[in-house]
Amino acid sequence: MLLRLGYDIQFETVADVPIITLLNVHPSRAGDLREPDELHTNPIVKIESYEDGFGNRACRLVAPKGKIQLQSSTLIEDSGLPDAENKGAAEIPVSDLPIDVLPYLLNSRYCEVDLLSNIVAELFWGAPRGWNRVQAVCDWVHSKVTFGYEFSSPFRTALDVYTQRVGVCRDFQHLAIAFCRALNIPARYATGYLGDIGVPASASPMDFSAWFEAYLGGRWWTFDARHNSRRVGRVLMAIGRDATDCAITTSFATTKLLKFEVVTEEWKAPERGSVVRFG
């Protein structure tokens, strides 16, 4: 399966503003790209590409005063299969976890593990260990939290989600991540493309999506407390402790968002002999 990925994001600024982006496909999927995956700007500015501390491909630029467009379009090959699963994947004792996995057991900006530990003990400590316990976390969050774009807030933490029971996709993942960490299961935040492939089309405009990964049986596995299903066509962009580490754009002064469009759709090559028209 081939997927067309892309975005058109536009800002307005009142002065020169440094911006960091995490808009590229994650390096782990670089081998699947069938077209270049490059950030383009209008007006053209200098772009510095680098790998951040979590292994994500990041870019740094300075947006000049006025309007700036961030745009890209690429093609990626995907298996067309749902997210991998292994219901027999076991939890690994903390003492045996790889050193680089340990940070994903700790508190982070949006995931207050310590404040939720007693709650988690009551809800999940008796649940079957391993994959089934992470799935129990997803089932609980999916059934207890109401999704709505009107509930979006940059300040809502996992504890807030637990008490308020509302949020957007990132909030579902933050609560599930905090629950898993409180159960001594490493969990990390993930963001990327997730189109309506193999599911009914959503009435909402396409956006980037969030999910999370849990470390079981010696590797990371994809889970999604928002949709709570194995999905087709998920394309990773960034991973981190929580949404702080995976912001698609971080501006170091005030910016006004003028446009935000995302494309994720299955792409069919034109039949031989057909005419393709652009514009």
- Does residue 253 surpass a pLDDT of 70? yes
The string of DSSP letters for 109-130 reads TTB-HHHHHHHHHHHHTTSPST
Angle between helices 169-182 and 113-124 (to 10 degrees): 80
The model's confidence at residue 278, banded by pLDDT at 50, 70 and 90, is very low
* Residue 204, pLDDT score: 75
Tens-place pLDDT, residues 2-30: 999 999 999 999 999 999 999 999 999 99
- The mean pLDDT value for 224-243 works out to 97
- Does residue 41 surpass a pLDDT of 60? yes
Q: Tokens 């910016």, residue? A: 255
> How far is residue 246's CA from residue 177's CA, in Å, rounded to a whole number?
14
- Does residue 277 surpass a pLDDT of 70? no
> How far is residue 157's CA from residue 171's CA, in Å, rounded to a whole number?
7
* Residue 273, pLDDT score: 53
Q: Tokens 């976890």, residue? A: 97
* Residue 177, pLDDT score: 98
The model's pTM: 0.94
* Residue 194, pLDDT score: 95
The model's confidence at residue 271, banded by pLDDT at 50, 70 and 90, is low
- Does residue 37 surpass a pLDDT of 50? yes
Backbone angles phi, psi at 267, to 5 degrees: -115, 130
> How far is residue 209's CA from residue 192's CA, in Å, rounded to a whole number?
6
Q: What is the DSSP letter of 96?
A: G
Size (the chain), residues = 279
HSE-CB of 231 using CA atoms within 13 angstroms: 23
* Residue 279, pLDDT score: 33
> How far is residue 224's CA from residue 229's CA, in Å, rounded to a whole number?
7
Instruction: Look up residue 169 and give its two tokens.
Output: 């996709």
Domains located in the chain, CATH noted: 2-79+248-267 (2.60.40.2250), 94-246 (3.10.620.30)
- The mean pLDDT value for 139-154 works out to 96
The model's confidence at residue 125, banded by pLDDT at 50, 70 and 90, is confident
Letter string b/e over residues 115-130, b meaning 16 or more CB atoms within 10 A of that residue's CB: ebeeebeebbeebeeb
> How far is residue 137's CA from residue 158's CA, in Å, rounded to a whole number?
13
- Does residue 276 surpass a pLDDT of 70? no
